[in-house]
Amino acid sequence: LHREGADMKMKNILTVLGNGDLMRMIPFLGDWKAFVRWQFLYAVIESGLLDILDRGLTRDEIMEESGVRRADILDALLDLGCALRELSLKNGRYQVRGKRLRRLQGGKGDCNRALIEAGSTYYSDIYRKAGNRLRGEGNGPYLEEAGPIIARWGKLLEPMIRNFVVKTFAGRGELKTLDVGCGSGNNLKLAHLVNESVYGMGIDYDENVVRQAAANMRDWRMDNQFAVAEGDIRTPSTELGHGYDVVTMYNVVYYFTVEERCQVFRNIRSLLRENGELAIVNSFNTRKNGWGTSNLNMAVTSIQGCYPLPRLDETRRFLEEAGFSRITVEQLVPGDAFYGITAK
């Protein structure tokens, strides 16, 4: 009987392997698993279960602590987490097991959480509606929801911009700086990390983002060095002051139409002291974009209030037209169109 069972098993395996349709699905099944894991992680973040799952609680304790009302869906989600090996269940108690779920937790996990949240919200919609847009539908109003998520992504780029920030700020003594489109404020923090005498302000036109940045500055005890305010660089208010040594703009150029870009550079130039420096970091539209940059380009081309990634030659021309004459261009990621530009 034992032998018959084994033969049957082998027969089943061979039938599956011999099925051309199924074999053709194999690459997709791998992607499907990654997709299911991604959606599991999103559900755990969005439902607020993330912090509760690592406390070794039973299913009933999880229900009580989280205020979940649908036991059936909770059971399904917990089962899925175990099947994906993101959760373990021992003696009726759940623990975090997988490295992805673990790396979503706590302060250090915030950037990863933002990535998952972006993927499951506005990025999903961008591709879901791509067909409609190709047929002529307008861009989606994603920024309201996405602004605070995008701001939290910033830290992801930190290793790529670090050397550029060091070159811009380190060893130059006291510097007054303005960070345009400051997002979470993380890049002001980085500037301060490489040069303690940097001070100034960050502006952003998204009030939710400004709130996040101001809270961060307080948390980081940097609110003495850096003020954060709501402001639109296309129409700079007099409160911004002038005489800045360095104005930085990280990942903001694609928020301006092509027609607006030159004027924005002019506005910034009028805020700089003589010989002051504009430092831009941005992804550009070149023929050698990696998939990450191409995905970003797909997003900014589909988001209301954003525009296709800028071209390098055009950006250089706009900077010159705005009155900058000494311009340097440096590729920050080998093999991808992520550049640092300085202009004086």
Q: How many residues bind ligand SAM (CB under 6 A)?
A: 22
Q: Which of 65, 125, 145, 232 binds ligand SAM (CB under 6 A)?
A: 232
Task: State yes or no: residue 150 binds ligand SAM (CB under 6 A).
Answer: yes
In angstroms, rounded to a whole number, what is the distance separating the alpha carbons of residues 13 and 3? 15
- 282 bridge partner residues: 339
What's the closest the beta carbon of residue 244 comes to ligand SAM, in angstroms?
15
What's the closest the beta carbon of residue 207 comes to ligand SAM, in angstroms?
9
Task: State yes or no: residue 181 binds ligand SAM (CB under 6 A).
Answer: yes
Task: State yes or no: residue 206 binds ligand SAM (CB under 6 A).
Answer: yes
Residue nearer to ligand SAM on the CB measure, 167 or 234: 234
Task: State yes or no: residue 203 binds ligand SAM (CB under 6 A).
Answer: yes
Residue nearer to ligand SAM on the CB measure, 205 or 226: 205
Residues 309-338 that bind ligand SAM (CB under 6 A): none
DSSP SS3 for 290:
coil
The stretch near ligand SAM (CB under 6 A) out of 9-17, 147-155, 307-315, 333-341 is 147-155
Residue nearer to ligand SAM on the CB measure, 41 or 203: 203
In angstroms, rounded to a whole number, what is the distance separating the alpha carbons of residues 342 and 11? 66
At how many degrees (to 10) do helices 20-46 and 110-118 cross? 120
Residue 81: closest CA among 107, 63, 54, 60 = 54
Question: Which amino acid makes up residue 142?
Answer: Y
In angstroms, rounded to a whole number, what is the distance separating the alpha carbons of residues 258 and 61? 55
Q: Which of 147, 200, 276, 340 binds ligand SAM (CB under 6 A)?
A: 147
Strands 327-331 and 272-283: what pairing?
Answer: unpaired
Task: State yes or no: residue 252 binds ligand SAM (CB under 6 A).
Answer: yes
What's the closest the beta carbon of residue 275 comes to ligand SAM, in angstroms?
24
Are 51 and 58 spatial neighbours (Cβ–Cβ below 8 Å)? no
In angstroms, rounded to a whole number, what is the distance separating the alpha carbons of residues 330 and 279? 11
Residue nearer to ligand SAM on the CB measure, 181 or 200: 181
Task: State yes or no: residue 236 binds ligand SAM (CB under 6 A).
Answer: no
DSSP SS3 for 201:
strand
Question: Which amino acid makes up residue 178?
Answer: L
What's the closest the beta carbon of residue 146 comes to ligand SAM, in angstroms?
9
Longest dimension (CA), the chain: 90
Binding site for ligand SAM (CB under 6 A): 147, 150-151, 154, 180-183, 186-187, 203-206, 209, 232-234, 250-252, 255
